[in-house]
Amino acid sequence: MLYYLFQFLDERYNFPGAGVFQYISFRALGAVITSLLIAAIFGRRIIDTLRNLQIGESIRDLGLEGQMQKRGTPTMGGFIILASLLIPALLFAKLTNVYVVLALVSTVWTGMIGFLDDYIKVFKKNKEGLEGKFKVVGQVGLGLIVGLTLSFNDYVKIRKYAPRLFSTSNVPDVYTDIKSTLTTVPFVKNNEFDYSSLLFGFLPDSYTWIVYVLICIFIITAVSNGANITDGIDGLAAGTSVIIGLTIGVLAYLSGNKVFSQYLNIMYIPNAGELVIFCAAFVGACVGFLWYNSYPAQVFMGDTGSLMLGGVIAVLFLAIRKELMIPIICGIFLVELVSVIMQVSYFKYTKRKYGEGRRIFLMSPLHHHFQKKGYHEAKLVTRFWIVGIILAVLALATLKLR
């Protein structure tokens, strides 16, 4: 909103300093500061409100050290993240940008799914929360919206440059903005993959959108649930999301910048740079929430926050066509999710075969396994963050290591 206000002031009245809002870097800085201020000013009030409404976490006794002391800690703290993310994004981003609109829609959509889950747990006293099938329906719905928008919206294009006949900066670039189903493949020299190849020639390329929508649904569901499962100890999901958000912000800036994308020989996506403002607000919101969620937590984000974080991260990756980098950058989410799948699958298999269920880990997800082995919660979270930073650096290195 502020972008349009200062654009009007600059064009109509030549207002001093108004032109600075044209710069992505300035608006990203404004979004970070605003999100941190919102979390600092209103975070405590939101926590007090949750406590007054007796919206406390119901803790199951899993035999973990210090676990039962957390009983009654306010949950639904995801509202702090939502407020700190949405308000700066609305203020500083271009609201006509389809990528920003998709990010905002995904934030509200997954936040509502998480809120329903928390509401049922807290007010209906049902520890299972929203049934899994309804969560999946909501995630599938978002996947359809994102997949169809990225497939058919005329605003969503990539830029293809014609080869230069002369190696001089004085010769203008010849390019074409095209609709495409290309995405980025890490560690590969010619690092682009076309989803149309998954049709294997059985169907014409015009049916590629079906494959792409199914892939969007899978990615959004997987990453959203991965973040949800990771949210098990103080600061783990929020801190990991900060690292991921920063990495996506860098990738969005490079992919949306003509000079850097050509220098790095990566796909140039016109207007994708606007997502840097959203990523800045995302990082600021998560850092602001960590002020209250770091060990020992004063508030839990609940599914209101964790499902939203994962859903938004997935949509951002899809928007900048870097979804094949998710297993690297979101490695923490992936390992946590896979540990649960392995544990449950192996338990069911051994129960059928031997009549007694056996386990791979002491407890799943993986962070509980390490807790059972005696690792202190704070040390465990810090080490997970370090692993997350290493994965982020590795992912950024793939821009040159091919």
Report d(CA 234, CA 332) in Å as an integer: 15
Instruction: State mean pLDDT over 324-329.
Output: 95
Split into its structural domains, the chain has a count of: 1
What pLDDT score was predicted for residue 168?
Answer: 57
**Domain ranges, residue 283:** 1-54+73-163+175-326
Which pLDDT does position 187 carry in this prediction?
87
Q: Tokens 């007010």, residue?
A: 123
**Phi, psi dihedral angles at 104 (to 5 degrees):** -65, -45
Give the pLDDT mean for 343-354: 93
In the three-class reduction of DSSP (H, G, I as helix; E, B as strand; rest coil), residue 268 is classed as strand
Q: What is the tens place of the pLDDT at every residue in 195-208? A: 999 988 888 888 99
Q: Could you tell me the pLDDT band of residue 160, with boundaries at 50, 70 and 90?
A: confident
Q: Domain for residue 27, yes or no?
A: yes
In this predicted structure, what is the pLDDT of residue 169? 57
Instruction: Say whether 228 counts as a known binding-site residue.
Output: yes
Rounded average pLDDT over 328-350 = 95
360 assigned to some structural domain: no
In a domain, 97, yes or no: yes
Residue 390 lies in a domain: no
Residue 249 has pLDDT above 80, yes or no: yes
For the chain, how many residues are written?
A: 402
Q: Give the pLDDT of residue 382.
A: 95
Q: What is the pLDDT of residues 278-312, one digit of tens each?
A: 999 999 999 999 999 998 889 999 899 999 999 99
pTM of the model: 0.93
So what's the pLDDT on residue 204? 86
- Of 282, 223, 276, 232, nearest to 252 by C-alpha is 276
Percent of the chain residues past pLDDT 90, beyond the cut: 64
Cα–Cα dist 30/35, whole Å: 9
Distance CA 351, CA 284 (A): 46
Q: In the prediction, which pLDDT does 57 show?
A: 63
> Is residue 60 domain-resident?
no
pLDDT per residue over 24-74, tens digit each?
Answer: 999 999 999 999 999 989 999 999 998 888 776 665 656 666 666 677 788
DSSP string, 152-196: H-TT--EEEEPPPSS--TTSPP-EEEE---EEE-TT-SS-EEEGG
Residue 14 pLDDT level (bands cut at 50, 70, 90): confident
Burial zone of 373 (CB within 10 Å; 0-12 exposed, 13-18 middle, 19+ buried): exposed
Q: Is 257 annotated as a binding residue?
A: no
Is residue 29 domain-resident?
A: yes
Mean pLDDT of 333-359: 93
**In whole angstroms, what separates CA 306 from the centre of its chain?**
10
Contact call for residues 315 and 98 (beta carbons, < 8 A): no
Instruction: Give the residue, 175 or 378, on which the prediction is more confident.
Output: 378
Indicate whether 221 belongs to any domain.
yes
- Give the range among 199-208, 333-342, 371-380 with minimum mean pLDDT: 199-208
Residue burial 146-179, b: 16+ Cβ < 10 Å; e: rest: bbebbbeeeebebbeeeeeeeeeeeeeeeeeeee
H or E element, residue 58: none
Contact yes or no for 302/134 (Cβ under 8 A): no
pLDDT at 205: 85
Residue 377: inside a domain: no
